[in-house]
Amino acid sequence: METRQKLSSSIEDYLEAIFLLSKEKKAVRVKDISRALNVKMPSVNRALHVLKDLDMILHENYGYIELTDKGTSVGSDIYRKHKVLVKFLNKMLGVSQATAQEDACSMEHHISRETLNKFVEFVDKYGGSRKK
């Protein structure tokens, strides 16, 4: 996806957090994102301006945050990468869940679609075979 390559790792983290929060809550607020990412609210507001300029969210000052179709698509893609990487690291390599989560957060921002697709194929084929 063309837009995806323009996003910084930090902005991807915000988008993924909004995506996940919107799955849990009907209305996402700045303070929800601040808590989820453990950042200050002014940092969230700066990120929201970027995401709004990219047409990924709808947000009025002091209002709720809503993902656009574009934001949902990109957020879903980021989260999909995260889940595949966590599963691979934890289930296939035996990395602890906490470490797998942390490492997946770093890796998801830099992995190519081609490599991710290979991870998906591998995890789908062998994902259930390793026991802890």
DSSP, res 7: S
Q: Cα angle at 127 between 123 and 129, to 5 degrees?
A: 145
Domain with CATH 1.10.10.10 in the chain: 3-73
Which part of the chain has CATH 1.10.60?
A: 76-126
Residue 47: what pLDDT? 96
64: helix, strand or coil: coil
- pLDDT tens per residue, range 25-44: 888 999 999 999 999 999 99
User: Measured between alpha carbons, how far is 71 from 51 in angstroms, rounded to an integer?
Assistant: 8
33: its two tokens? 């994102």
C-alpha dihedral (46, 14, 70, 45), degrees to nearest 10? -20
Tokens coding 12: 């991807």
Q: Would you say domain 76-126 falls under CATH 1.10.60?
A: yes
CATH number of the domain located at residue range(s) 3-73 in this protein:
1.10.10.10
pLDDT 10s digits, 87-130: 999 988 999 999 999 999 888 888 888 998 888 888 888 875 54
Least confident of 49-58, 67-76, 90-99, 114-123: 114-123
